[in-house]
Chains A and B, each alone.
Chain A
Amino acid sequence: MTIHLSIVLWLPLAAGVLALLVRGSLARWISVLGALATLAYAIVIVADYDVGGGLQHVTDEMWIGALGIHYKLAVSGLSVVLILTTAVVFLGAALWSALRGEPGSRPGLYAVLMGLAQSGVLGAFMAQDIVLFVAFFDLMLVPYYFLTIVWGGPRRGPAVLKLFVYTLVGSLLMLVGAVATGVLAKAGDGGATSFAISDLQQSLVSSGSQKWIFLTFAIAFLVKMPAFPFHGWMPDGYTQMPLAPLATFTALLSKVAAYGFLVIALPLYPQGAIEFQMLMLTVALASILYGSAMAFTATNTRLVLGYSSVAQLGFIIVGIFALNERGGDGALLQSVNHALVAAPLMLVVAMLAARAGGSEDLRDMGGIATRAPAFAAVFLVLTYALLAMPGSTNFIGEYLILLGVFTSKIVVAFVAAVGVAGAAVYGLRLYIRAMHNRTGPAVGAREMTAREALVIVPLMLVVLALSLYPQFGLQRTEHAVKTSLVAVQDAAHDRGETLAAIGKEER
C-alpha cells in the first residue's frame, strides 16, 4: 500500500479550515474527526513500518529550486512512534475541547489554529530537509501564540510574547546555522546546494564549523524544551495558555527538540556534539536538579507539571548526550512516555480546578479524592508513570538512560539518579496535596464525569499499554538510533579518542 505522508501531514490543517467554514459546535466535532482520521492514518503508518530501519514512505519534491531546499518527508525509526504519539495527544485535546464545549467563542478559529499546530508538529517530525525542519519548527509556534492571545489567562499578552520571542531566538539562530551548513557543504564538495539531511550527511562541514553550528541548534532545542538556563518563558507561558493547547504544547513541542538532537544535531555536527558533550550534560543535570527543586515548592499545579517537565527533559538530554545506543534508545522512549503522561496530567489540572472552586493552586485543593475514587485511581496511575515507578514504561526509559550514561560518564549518572528520587517527591506531593490532605475551602469533591472519563481514561490506557509492552517503541527506534550515532562514533575515532570515552560499549 502506498502511503502519502503529505496527506497525514496536512489533514489536521485541512480539517481545521473546514471547521472554520461552519458555525457553532459542529466546528469542534469536525476538528475531532480530523484528528481521528489523522490517528487512523498514523496507525497505518506504524503498522506498515518496516522495523529494519531506514527512511520509509519518502516524499521528495523540490520546494525552492534556487536554494536547493527540498520538500522531503519520510518516516524513520526515530519519528515513527512520535508521529503516532502526536496523533494520540491531539485527538485527546480535540475531544476534550469538543466534549466540554471549549472555547465558548469562535470555535472555528480555535479548530484551525489547533489544526495548524498539529500539522506543524507532524511536519517537524517528518521533515528530512533541515530548512524544512526549521520552517516547521517555527511554524508550529505561531498557532500557540494566537491560541493564547485569544483564549488565554488575564496576563496573556506579555507572557506569550515572552514565550514567543524566547523560543524564536533559538530557532532563528538555528536558521542561520542551517543555511550556513548548506552553503559550506556546497563549498566543500562543489556540487549543487542541498539541505536534505541525507545529502548533508555525505559531506559533513569542517570541524570548526560543526562546533558553532551545533551550538545554534543546541540553543534552539534547549530553549524549546525548556532546559534550565533557558526556561525563563516557561512559568509565564504555562500559566497563561489555555489548558487543552497547553497539554499538546508541553507534551509535544519539547519532544520535537529532543528529536531534533537525534536527527540533526548528532548526525550532522558530530564534532560539536563531542566537543560540547560535557556542557550539554551539565545543562541537563542543572535542569534535573533545578526542575525538581522548583517542582517541590511550586503551588500552581500547572507550574508543578511545568517544572517537572524541565526535570524530565533534563533526563532526556542526559540520554541523548550519553552518546551511545542505550542512552539514545532511553531518551527516545522517554520522549514518548513523557508526552503521553504530561498531556493527560495537564487535563487533570482542569479537572482538579473544576473541583476546587476554579483555582489551580495546590493550597486551595485537598480532599478531592473523598468522593472520586475512579478519578483518584486514574490520577494515581498517571502520577506513578510520571515518577517512573518500576513497572511503568517511564522506569524503563530512565533505566536505559542511566545505564547509557553510566558507561560513558559515571559521575553524571550518579547525579542524574538523584532526579529519580526527586520525581517521586514532586509527583507524590502533587497527588497527595490535591487529592488527600485536609479538604480545601472551596472544594466540592465529585466523581469524574463521563465526558472527562472519555478523554482521560483512553489516554491512561495508552500509558498502561506501553508499560506492558515497551518493545513497541524500542524495537522501532533501535536501528535508527544506532544509525544516528554512527557519525559521532566516527568523529570520536578521528579525534583519536578512545571509543570508551564516549561510551561505546565493548563488543
Chain B
Amino acid sequence: MLAAVKAPVIDWAGLSPLIALLGGAVLVLVLGLAGFRVVRTQWVPTLTLAAFGAAIGLLLWQWDSDLSLIEGTLRLDRLTILVTLIVCATAILATLLAWRDQAAREIAHGEFFCLLLTASAGMMVLVAAQDLLAAFVGLELLSMPLYVLCASRLRAARSLESGLKYLIVGSVGSATLLYGFALLYGASGTTSYAGIAKAIETGGLAGDPLVLTGAALAVVGLAFKASLAPFHQWTPDVYEGAPTPVTAFMSVATKIAAFGVIVRLFDVALAPAVDDWKPIWIAIAVISIVVGNVGALGQSSLKRLLAYSSIAQAGYILVGVVVFTDLGVQAVLLYIVVYLFANIAAFAVVTLRERETDLGDDIGALRGLGAKRPLMALSMTLAMLSLAGLPATAGFVGKLRLIEAAADGGLTWLGVMIVIGSMISLAYYLPVAAAMWREEAAATPEPGIDPRTGRPALAGGAPGAADAAAADGRGGWEVTLVAFVCGAASLVFGIVPQPLFDLVEQAARGLGLS
C-alpha cells in the first residue's frame, strides 16, 4: 500500500502568501517571548507588518496566475488575490492602530499579533477554498483567533463579555454552516464546488429538499459571519466591547472574507439553483439595510453606531452579490475597498479619541475636534460622508456602481432600497460630523470622578492647556497617519475612481459569470 502513495506536487509559489502569513505568525509568537521590552513592543509589530507586507508582495507577484492548489482544494485566482490583498491591507492598518493599544499589552504582543496573522490566513483559505471542507477549515481558522482577540483586554469586563458572546454566537453560526455543508454533500455526493454545481445541474437537484435545506443553512451560517440581519444581534455588543483596533479589523476583513465565500459558494457552486437562493439573499439584503440603518439611529456610542452602520453596509454589498452578474461582483469588490477606507478612518479617529479623552467611544469625545485638530476632523467627516455616499467621496462612486449593477441585473428596486437606506443613514452619519465642527474647542473634561471608569480622571493639577497637549500626544502618530491616509483615500478615489474600477474589473474577470 505504502508504495502506492505518491508524493503530492506542491506548488510552493502559489502557497507562498499563505506561508508568509502563517510563518510570520509563528515567528511573531516566538519573538513575543523575548525578555527585552523593546523587542516585544516594537519588534513584534514591526515583524507583523513585515509578514503582511511580504504576503502582499507575494500576492502581487502572483497577480496574473490562476492556480489550482493542493489537488484543487484551493484556487489562487484574481478574486482570492484581491480579497487577500484587501485583508492584508486592513490588517496592516489594524496593526498600526494596535501598536500601542492597551489590548496588545494585556494579552502580550506576541499573541495578539500572532492571532491577527492567523485570522488573516484563515480569511485567505476561506476565499481560496474550492471545497466545502476547506471552506469550513478556513472559516474556523479565521473565527477562533477573532474570538480571542475580542477578549484580549483581559482586565476589561466588556471585552471579555464581547469575546464570550462572539464565541457562543459564532459557534452557532459555524455549526449551522457545517450542517448545511453536510446536507449539500449528502445531496450531491461531493464536497467540491464544481462537483456540486455539476451534480445539481445534471441531476436536476435544483428543487431537491436536501439541497434547499443545505443552502438555507449555509445562508444562515454565512449571514452570521457577515453580520447580516436578522442574524446580526451579536454585532453591536461585540463591536462595542472588543478593543477598537480589533473591531476595525473585524468590521472590514471578516466581511470581505464572508462575501468572498458567498460569491464563490453561491455564484459558482450553487449557481444552477440560483432561483432557490436568490430570494433569500434579497430578503436578507433588504432586512439588513433597514435594520442596520434604523438601529444606528440615536446611538451615542460610536462603536455601536459603526456596528449598525456596518450591518447596513453589508446589506448594500449583498445587493451586488444577488444580482448574480459579473458587474455585480465588480460592484461588491469596489464597494468593499471604498468601505475599507471609510471604516478604518472612522475607527482610527475613535481609537485616537479613546486614548486622548476619558469619554471612551462616546460621540461626545469628538466634540471640538474640528477646532483643535482639523485634519483629524476632516478625515472623520470624509469617512462619514463616504459611508453615507455623498458625491466627491468614494462612497458615492461605490453606491453608483452598486445601483448600476442592480439596475443592470433587473433589480432596480434594490437600488432604490440602497438609496432609501442612505437617506436614513444621513440622520446618524451627519450628527457625528456635526459634533466635531459644531462646538468651539470643547472644555477639558472636568476634574473629578470619570463616570465610565469610576476613577479620578486626573490626579492633582489644574486641567489646563498643558494637560490637553499631553493628552493630544497620547494617540500616537501612527493612528493619526492611518486616519489621515484613509480619509484622504476616501476623497481621492471619489474624484479619481478609475484606478479602482480597473482593479476590480480585472479581479472579476474569469469568474465564469455572465
Contacts and interface: CB of A to CB of B under 8 A. Distances in A.
Interface of A: 64-67, 69, 105-106, 109, 131, 134-136, 138-139, 142, 145-146, 149-150, 157, 161, 164-165, 168-169, 172-173, 175-176, 179-180, 182-184
Contacts of A173: 416, 419
A394 B390 CA distance: 36
Contacts, number: 95
A181 B181 CA distance: 42
Which 6 pairs show the lowest CB-CB distances between chains A and B? A135-B391, A66-B501, A172-B419, A183-B407, A139-B391, A149-B434
Contact of A67 (B390, B400, B431): B400
A201 B407 CA distance: 20
A123 to B, nearest CB: 10
Contacts of B449: none
B404 interface: yes
B391 A64 contact: no
Given A164-B426, A172-B419, A142 B400 contact: no
Contact of A180 (B389, B412, B434, B440): B412
Given A64-B498, A157-B431, A172-B423, A135 B407 contact: no
A105 B440 contact: yes
B404 A183 contact: yes
A172 B422 contact: yes
B364 interface: no
B403 A179 contact: yes
A136 B391 contact: yes
A175 B419 contact: yes
Given A172-B423, A176-B403, A183-B404, 20 more contacts: A65-B498, A66-B501, A66-B502, A67-B400, A67-B401, A106-B371, A109-B374, A109-B437, A134-B391, A135-B392, A135-B396, A138-B391, A139-B391, A139-B392, A145-B430, A150-B437, A164-B430, A175-B399, A179-B407, A184-B407
Contacts of A109: 370, 374, 437
Nearest to A152: B438
A149 B437 contact: yes
A172 B412 CA distance: 13
7 contacts: A66-B502, A106-B371, A109-B370, A135-B391, A149-B437, A161-B431, A176-B419
Nearest to B424: A165
B385 interface: yes
A201 to B, nearest CB: 20
B505 interface: yes
A173 B389 CA distance: 13
B390 A183 contact: no
Contacts of A182: 404
B430 A161 contact: yes
A161 B502 CA distance: 36
B505 A66 contact: yes
A469 B416 CA distance: 46
Given A64-B397, A176-B412, A142 B419 contact: no
A142 B390 contact: yes
Contacts of B467: none
Contacts of A136: 391
A66 B404 CA distance: 11
Contacts of A165: 423, 426-427
A168 B438 contact: no
Contacts of A149: 433-434, 437-438
A146 B380 CA distance: 14
Nearest to A212: B412
A180 B385 CA distance: 24
A501 B27 CA distance: 82
Nearest to A147: B437
Nearest to B404: A179
A157 B434 contact: yes
A175 B403 contact: yes
Contacts of B502: 66
Contacts of B437: 109, 146, 149-150
A73 to B, nearest CB: 15
A143 to B, nearest CB: 11
B407 A161 contact: no
Interface string B442-466: 0000000000000000000000000
Nearest to A209: B412
B476 interface: no
Nearest to A66: B501
Contacts of A65: 498, 501
Nearest to B438: A149
B53 interface: no
Contacts of B440: 105
B408 interface: yes
Contacts of B427: 161, 165
Contacts of A142: 385, 390
A400 to B, nearest CB: 34
A113 B440 CA distance: 17
Contacts of B292: none
A109 B374 CA distance: 10
B138 interface: no
Interface centre among A131, A142, A157 (most CB of B within 10 A): A142
Given A65-B501, A149-B437, A131 B400 contact: yes
B195 interface: no
Interface in B139-195: none
Contacts of A106: 371
Contact of A179 (B397, B400, B426, B497): B400
A142 B388 CA distance: 12
Contacts of A69: 400
Contacts of B370: 109, 150
A481 B441 CA distance: 51
B229 to A, nearest CB: 21
Contacts of B330: 66
Contacts of A64: 397, 400, 497-498, 501
Nearest to B399: A175
Contacts of B241: none
B24 interface: no
Interface string B323-358: 000000010000000000000000000000000000
Nearest to B381: A146
Contacts of A184: 407
A172 B404 CA distance: 13
B415 interface: yes
Nearest to A173: B419
Interface centre among A142, A164, A175 (most CB of B within 10 A): A175
A69 B498 CA distance: 11
A175 B388 CA distance: 14
Nearest to B396: A135
A64 to B, nearest CB: 5
A169 B416 CA distance: 11
A168 B391 CA distance: 11
Nearest to B505: A66
B116 to A, nearest CB: 34
Nearest to B421: A172
A258 to B, nearest CB: 21
B328 to A, nearest CB: 13
A179 B415 contact: yes
Nearest to A131: B400
Contacts of B391: 134-136, 138-139
Contacts of A176: 403, 407, 412, 415-416, 419
B390 A138 contact: yes
A106 B436 CA distance: 14
Contacts of B497: 64
A182 B438 CA distance: 40
